[in-house]
Structure 1
Amino acid sequence: MSTQRRPAHTGSPNAPAPLPFSGEPAYFGLMDSAPRETPDDDRNPLHLLSLDALRRRTSMKWRTYPEDVLPLWVAEMDVPLAAPVARAITDAVALGDTGYPTGTAYAGALADFARTRWGWDGLAVERAAIVPDVMLGIVEMLKLITGPGAPVVVNCPVYPPFYQFVTHMDRRVVEAPLGGDLRIDFAALEEAFRHATTGGGRAAYLLCSPHNPTGTVHSAEELTAVAALADRYGIRVVADEIHAPVVAHDTAFVPYLSVPGAENGLALMSASKAWNLAGLKAAVAVAGPAAADDLARLPEEVSHGPSHLGIIAHTAALRDGRDWLDAVRAGIDDNRRLLAELLADRLPQVRYRPAAGTYLAWLDCRPLNLGDDPAAAFLARGRVALSPGTSFGTGGAGHVRLNLATSPGLLTEAVRRMAAAVD
C-alpha cells in the first residue's frame, strides 16, 4: 500500500525555457463581470477562456507551478462559472446573505437532479445532511460506522486523499486492486473483505463511484454485487459519488444506494466537480433506509462546516445549471476523443482507454521507460504538470493522471510538449 503524498513542485533557476503555446484565442478574454450566456455558435464552456485569462486565476491549479508550465493536474476545470450559479452568488452578496448555512434546499435540489437525471427517486431529504465537503463528509461517515484502528477497504489506484484522510483519522487502509480492465476485481475485493474482517470488529469499504483516476463508471450489476459481498462480510459501504454528474452522454450513472442490498449504505454527493465549485465548499451526505439512524447521530456542529454561499451556488447549479453541464459533458466527450487521437499520433506507446466518467484521463506510460514517476519527466522536460500515478497507491507507478477539462488547444499543446519531452 502506498500513502505517498503528491510531491510539491517548485520552480528552478535551471528550468527549461518555456515552450510556445499554440492554443486558441478567447472569445471574451477575461470576463469583467458575471459570465454571459455562451454565444449560439459555440455552446462549449471549455472554449471560452484564453490561457492568459486562466493564468490570472489564484487557485491551486494555476499557482502551484511557474507560468511556463501547463497545469493539467488537479481537478479544476478551465471554464467560466455557469451563469445561473454566478447570478445566485452575486444576488446573495448584494443582499448580504453571507451568514450560516441551514435548511434542506441543497438536498432537495440534489433529489430532483437524481430523479430526473438518474431515474432514482430514493434520495429522501429526511435522510440527508449537509457536510463541509465530500472528503470531510467521508471522515464523518467513517466515524459513525467504525472505530479507531478499523480497516477501510479501497480499490487502488485511487484518489490520494482516500489514503491521507483515512490514515489521519486513525483508520488503516486495506487495498483491493482494480483488475487489468480497470474495473472492480471481485476476487481481490473479497480477499480484502476477508482480511479486513479477520478477528472481528467493524470495517468499511470506501467506494469511489465513478472511479478516480480511471474514470470507470460502475454498472448496476457490479454495484449490486458489491452490496451482496459487503452484506456477506458485514462491511459497511461509504460511496464517494462526487463525479456522478460528469459521465459520457451514452453512459448511465447508477447511485450506489439505488441498487438492491445497499439499504445500509452511505453516500456523499456534491456539485463541486461538475460545476467547478471546489472553492465554494458544500456537500450532502445521504443515508440508505437502514442507515438513517447512523446519519441521525451525526454531530450537529458538522452542519456548520459548509459555506452558506457554497450551498447557494451548488443548489443553483443542480436546479438551473443543467444545460451548462450538458455543454461541458459534450466538450469532455470531444476531448476524450481528441486525446486518443493526439496520443496515437504523437505518443503511440502510451496506453489510454477513454473512460465514461469524470474529466480525468489515466495514462499508462510504462512503455516510455520513464520510471515510476513519468510526471516528473513531463514536468522537467516538457513543462506540463500532471498528477503522478505513484500518489494513487498500488498500481499507480508508471502512470499519470491528466485533466481533460480544458480547451482543445491547450490539450493539443500539452501532448505536443509531452512528446517533445521523450524525443
Structure 2
Amino acid sequence: MSHAPLEALPLEILRRRSSTKWRTYPADVLPMFVAETDYPLAPAITAVLAEAVAIGDTGYTPPDPALARAFVGYAERRFGWRVDPARVRWTADVMMGVVELLRATTRPGDRVVITPPVYPPFAMCVEEAGCQVAAVPLLAPSDGDPGGEGAPDSAGDGGDAGGWRLDLPGIDRALADGARAVLLCNPHNPTGTVHPAGDLVELAEIAARHDAVVISDEIHGPLVRDGLDYTPFLTASRVAAQVGFAVTSASKAYNLAGLKCALMVTADDRTTAVVQGLVAEVEWRTGLFGALAAVAAFDAVSDDWLDAERAAIARNGALLGDLLREQLPLARYRRPDAGYLAWIDVSAYDWGDDPAVHLRRAAKVALHHGPLFGPQGVGHVRLNFGCAPEVLTEAVARIAAVPAGLTPASP
C-alpha cells in the first residue's frame, strides 16, 4: 500500500524545539546524536494532546488509561502477537521498567548479561539495580558474511545488519558462571540488528537451563524494515514466554520520549506475578500525556502515519549508504534492520578513539560517542538519520570535508 510521503520539519521550526536534541549544542551544529526524530507528530497524537491542553487535562494518570487494550490491538496488527491485556502494566519509560524488573528478579551483587556494543543506559541500569555487568559482546559480522546489497562491513548499504549475532555460547558460559539475567536489546541498538527467531529460541533455552530471566527491550520493534521478519521475544517459544519480560514504548517510533510512558508485558503466570508485585509507584510514574499519546499511537488510525515514517526512514537508510560510499569510502556501515540509528566505523580516518568529539568541533555535526556503547565502539559513531534527506546530505558532506587524522588543536 502506498502512503503520502512523510517529510521532516524544516530546520527553522525544529530549532524552536526545547528538547535535548535541539538545546544541547549551538545552532551551527547539526544534531544527529540522540534518538529524537524530526518528523511532525502523528495527527491523532497531536489531536489528543491539543484537546488535553485545551481542557486542562493535566492531572494524574488514571488507574486504567486504556493502554493495555490499545497495545493488544497494536501488537496483533503489527506483529501478529496475541497479548493478554491482563499481562500488561505501565511505567514511565523503558529503562525504569528494566531497573524495576531487575530489582524484582535478582539480588544485589548479581551479574546481568549485556551484549555490547549496546545502548549505554543498559550498563547504567544494571548498576542502578544493584547488580554487576557481565559483558558478552555481539559477534561482529565477518568479512565472509554475505551482507546482501554491496560488500558487507563496507561503506554503502550492507543490506543486512543481521550480520551481528548474539554470542549464545558466551551467554551460556556467563549464566553458568552465575549471572542471573540477560538484558536483551531486540531490535538491537546501535547496530539495528533484528535477532533471528532461532537465536531467541536458543537464548530462552539457555536462560531456562540456568534458571535465569531475559528482559527484552523492544522499543525499536515498530521500525523494522519491510521484508524482514521480527520476533518479539515472548513469542519466540513456550520457554521464552516462561523466562521473558518485554519492555516497550511508543516513544522511539512516534517521538514521545519526553511524555514518559512505557509498557511491561509478560506471557506466563510466574512472570506476570513478578510484574503485578511491583510497588504501585512504578505505575504512578507514568505521565498522563504519555499515556494519552501512546493510546493514540497504538490505535489503527495512526498506522498509515507509521508506515509513512518507516518509508521515509528506509529511504534515508539507503541514502546514507550512497553518501558514505561516495564521500567516505573507508567508513564501514551496515544498513540497520530496524530504526533510524546508523552504527558507523570511521576508525580508518584516524579521528581518535571517540571520533564524535573531533567531528563535532571540526565538522559541526553532533554524533553519539561510540565508546559509550562499550569498548567495541572505539573508532565508531552513531548517527541519527531520522531527519530530512537534505540535513543528512549536509551532515555527511561536512564530515567528509574533515581531513583524516586529528588536528594539533584536538585533544
Fold match, TM over 0.5? yes
Instruction: Tell me the alpha carbon deviations over residues 229-266 of structure 1, each in whole angstroms, 9 at most, x when there is no partner.
Output: 11112211101111110111112321101111112311
From 225, 228, 243, the counterpart of 2:205 = 228
The answer for unaligned runs of 5 or more in structure 2 is 142-163, 405-411
Distance in 2 (alpha carbons) for counterparts of 1:78 and 1:43: 17
Q: Is the 8 A contact 1:213 1:401 kept in 2?
A: yes
- Percent same amino acid among aligned pairs? 44
The amino acid across from 2:343 in the alignment is W
Output the amino acid matched with 1:254: T
CA contact (8 A) 1:104 1:125 kept: no
Displacement over 4 Å in runs of 4+ = none
- Whether 2:191 is the aligned partner of 1:248: answer no
**What residue is the counterpart of 1:183 in the other structure?**
165
CA deviations over 1:9-41 (Å, ceiling 9, x no partner) = xxxxxxxxxxxxxxxxxxxxxxxxxxxxxxxx9
162-171 or 357-366, which deviates more: 162-171
The 2-side partners of 1:242 and 1:128 are apart by 15
Mapped to 2, the partners of 1:136 and 1:395 lie a distance apart of: 25
**Which residue in 1 is equivalent to 2:159?**
none
1:153 touches 1:196 (CA, 8 Å); kept in 2?
A: no
- Partner residue in 2 for 1:3: none
Name 1:239's counterpart in structure 2.
216
Please state how far the C-alpha of 1:279 moved relative to its aligned partner.
0.9
Query: Aligned match of 1:205 in 174, 178, 182?
Result: 182
1:222 Cα offset (Å): 1.2
Give, in angstroms, the shift of residue 143 of structure 1. Answer: 1.0
Establish whether residue 92 from structure 1 lines up as the match of residue 52 from structure 2.
yes
Closer, same or farther in 2 for the Cα pair 1:42/1:126, shift >3 Å?
closer
CA distance in 2, matches of 1:179, 1:213: 14
SS at match of 2:252: coil
Do the aligned residues in 2 keep the contact of 1:211 with 1:217 (CA within 8 Å)? yes
Deviations 1:99-151 (A, max 9, x none): 22120511211111111111111x21111111111100111111110111111
Query: Structure 1 length normalisation: TM-score?
Result: 0.86
Deviation at 1:288, TM superposition (A): 2.2
Contact 1:177–1:394 (CA<8 Å) still a contact in 2?
A: no
* Deviation, structure 1 residue 191: 2.4
- Secondary structure at 1:159 match in 2: coil
Aligned 8 A contact 2:176 2:210 in 1: yes
Note if contact 1:118-1:252 (Cα within 8 Å) is conserved in structure 2. no
Q: Hey, what does 1:69 align to over in structure 2?
A: 29
Residues 68-123 of structure 1: per-residue CA shift (max 9 Å, x gap) = 100000000001111110001112222332222120511211111111111111x2
For 2:222 and 2:333, locate their aligned partners in 1 and report how far apart those are by CA, in whole Å: 22
Q: How many equivalent pairs are there?
A: 376
Q: Aligned partners of 1:48 and 1:120: how far apart in 2?
A: 31
The equivalent of 1:310 in structure 2 is: 290
- Within the alignment, does 1:406 sit opposite 2:367 as a pair? no
Letter of the aligned partner of 1:166 in structure 2? V
Deviation at 1:42, TM superposition (A): 8.5
Relative to structure 1, is the Cα distance of residues 112 and 85 closer, same or farther in structure 2, using a 3 angstrom cutoff?
Answer: same
The residue correspondences of 1:295-374 to structure 2 (distance < 5 A) are 295-319=275-299, 320-374=301-355
Residue matched to 2:145: none
TM-score, with structure 2 as normaliser: 0.89
Summarize the alignment of residues 42-121 of structure 1 with structure 2, pairs less than 5 Å apart: 43-45=4-6, 47-101=7-61, 102-103=63-64, 105-121=66-82
Superposed, which structure 2 residues align to 1:279-294 within 5 Å?
279-289=258-268, 290-294=270-274
Query: Relative to structure 2, which stretch is displaced further, 204-213 or 94-103?
Result: 94-103
C-alpha distance in structure 2 between counterparts of 1:363 and 1:98, whole Å: 41
For structure 1, which runs of at least 5 residues remain unmatched after alignment?
Answer: 1-40, 198-202
> What CA distance in whole angstroms lies between the structure 2 residues aligned with 1:42 and 1:226?
37
Which residue does the alignment assign to 1:38? none
1:140 maps to a residue whose letter is E
Instruction: Name the amino acid aligned to 1:387.
Output: H
Greater alpha carbon shift after TM alignment, 285-294 vs 214-223? 285-294
Amino acid at match of 1:117: R
184-193 vs 52-61, which moves further: 184-193
Say whether residues 1:196 and 2:175 are aligned partners: no
The CA deviation string for residues 311-339 of structure 1, in whole angstroms up to 9 with x for no partner, is: 00011011021111110100110011100
Q: Which amino acid aligns with 2:388?
A: S
* RMSD between aligned residues: 1.4
What residue in structure 2 maps to residue 173 of structure 1? Answer: 133
